[in-house]
Amino acid sequence: MTVTRFAPSPTGRLHVGNIRTALHNWMLAKNAGGRFLLRIDDTDAQRSKEEYVEAIREDLAWLGISPDGEERQSQRMALYDKAFETLKAAGRVYPAYETAQELELKRKVLLGRGLPPIYDRGALELSDRQRAAKEAEGIAPHWRFKLDHGSPITWEDGVRGTQKFDPAQLSDPVIRRADGSWLYMLPSAVDDIDMGVTSVLRGEDHVSNTAVQIQMFEALGSGPPAFAHEALLVGREGKLSKRLGSLGCDAFREKGIEPQAIIALLARLGTSLPVEPIGQIEALLETFDLATFGRAPAKFDDAELERVNTALVHQMPYAEVADRLPEGMDEAGWHAVQPNLATIAEAAEWWRLVTGPVEQPEFSEEDCAYLSEAAQSLAWSDDPWGALTSALKEKTGRKGKQLFLPLRQALTGMNHGPDMGELLPLIGEETARARLKTASQG
């Protein structure tokens, strides 16, 4: 069975980049009839907040992304300790005593020589006596995973194809801090093994992490999951944008963006498939395929999201939105205003054309006389707008804009808006006649 996971750190709200990661992992699992797991990476006790854990759950639920299980790293420390001891006994982790300043100096020296800033494994050259002396000075070690330099690290990436890394060109990663807390690499690998994760789909910024973690899986006696690394999101200008990190579900909700629009856009962003206003997740799942994912940066554009959102709002049936519409708006009202909406919240503004009051413009003497004639000619029927305009055309000889615009302005106070044939029956005969009379008085 395919098992995927989404592993956010609860140090802030979900943003558009990790929403896309969550969605693609959920789609990868569902498309294969598998399971999608939520793993809360809350090993950083100082930065992790419970309010963000709740926000992550709420945002996923709003988007319709339902995990089939949830784990929290803060409750799994015993597993990490056990794996650490296994690696320690196998000689695959070692203590290192350099300070952050010493490591930075080494880095600068290497860069100054035009060399890659790879850790020199200086800690491995320390004798037992030297290590004991460091600890006697009160210097607690951090711990590094020792990479096996014997053969290249290779895997077949679901997006990038064949990947090959020389482990000697990678630094032995720090997996545990001096205070005993964990960094990302080892707990993530341990969890993937324990949770039965078979596929990991994440951003291409993790490619070198994957090379390292493949050796961790092997050192822990497990085969690695299938890895795929998708292109990162960039802004409209083609650059990585900090702004993308501030675009989350709370910001989208504030703007009136529907969750279906976010799903429709992000499901295909970065693929060869066109972004379309598809509101049914089943239709998106049918076409989801890692083979369609490209290597070029995926461009996120607010305008495209708004276009998709508007198109989806125009497709939504009354039953789906009824509980979000202004009081008194029935199916006929929804049908009348729907083509004019960019967001559902705008329905309240258009509904005021029915409920009033409306602010009418000043009319010329000629238009006042015309509107007086309109008030008298108004006769209620199945099609009051058609009957009124036909009668006025015959009586006054007006046509086109001269015929229709003063009537719209008098009845709604606006120069444009919903189809008057649908709107006038909602306004009602009595209110419509009163508005025409008021307008005719100048």
Q: Is residue 412 part of a domain?
A: yes
Query: Do 382 and 425 fall into the same domain?
Result: yes
Query: Do 331 and 383 fall into the same domain?
Result: no
Q: Is residue 389 part of a domain?
A: yes
Domain end, chosen from 148, 176, 204, is at: 176
Q: Which residues span the domain enclosing 327?
A: 323-352
Report the predicted TM-score, pTM, of the whole model to 2 decimal places.
0.91
Query: Do 347 and 371 fall into the same domain?
Result: no
204 near 229, Cβ under 8 Å? yes
Mean pLDDT, the chain, integer = 95
Looking at residue 434, its pLDDT comes to 97
Query: Do 331 and 381 fall into the same domain?
Result: no
Instruction: Tell the burial category of 173 from Cβ atoms under 10 Å away from its Cβ (0-12, 13-18, 19+).
Output: buried
Domain end, chosen from 352, 371, 401, is at: 352
pLDDT tens by residue, 333-385: 999 999 999 999 999 999 999 999 999 999 999 999 999 999 999 999 999 99
Mean pLDDT of the region 86-93: 97
How crowded is residue 350: how many other Cβ atoms within 10 Å of its Cβ? 21
Count structural domains, the chain.
3
Of 356, 366, 337, whose CA–CA distance to 434 is shortest?
356
pLDDT tens by residue, 169-208: 999 999 999 999 999 999 999 999 999 999 999 999 999 9
Looking at residue 242, its pLDDT comes to 66
Residue 1 corresponds to which tokens in the numbers above? Answer: 């069975």
Distance CA 1, CA 199 (A): 10
Q: Is residue 84 part of a domain?
A: no
Q: Is residue 288 part of a domain?
A: no
Beta bridge partners of 95: 143
Q: Is residue 335 part of a domain?
A: yes
47 near 41, Cβ under 8 Å? no
Q: Is residue 56 part of a domain?
A: no
DSSP assignment of 168-201: GGSPPPEEE-TTS-B-SHHHHHHHHHHTT--EEE
Of 50, 65, 36, whose CA–CA distance to 195 is shortest?
36
Q: Is residue 258 part of a domain?
A: no
Reading phi first (left if > 0) and then psi (alpha if -120 to 50, else beta), residue 415 is in alpha
Out of 131-140, 241-250, 383-392, least confident range = 241-250
Looking at residue 241, its pLDDT comes to 66
Looking at residue 442, its pLDDT comes to 77
Mean pLDDT of the region 294-321: 95
Domain end, chosen from 116, 148, 176, is at: 176
Mean pLDDT of the region 127-145: 95
Q: Is residue 71 part of a domain?
A: no
Residue 11 corresponds to which tokens in the numbers above? Answer: 């140090």
Could you tell me the pLDDT band of residue 247, with boundaries at 50, 70 and 90?
confident
Which CATH number goes with the domain that contains 150? 3.90.800.10
Query: Do 380 and 417 fall into the same domain?
Result: yes
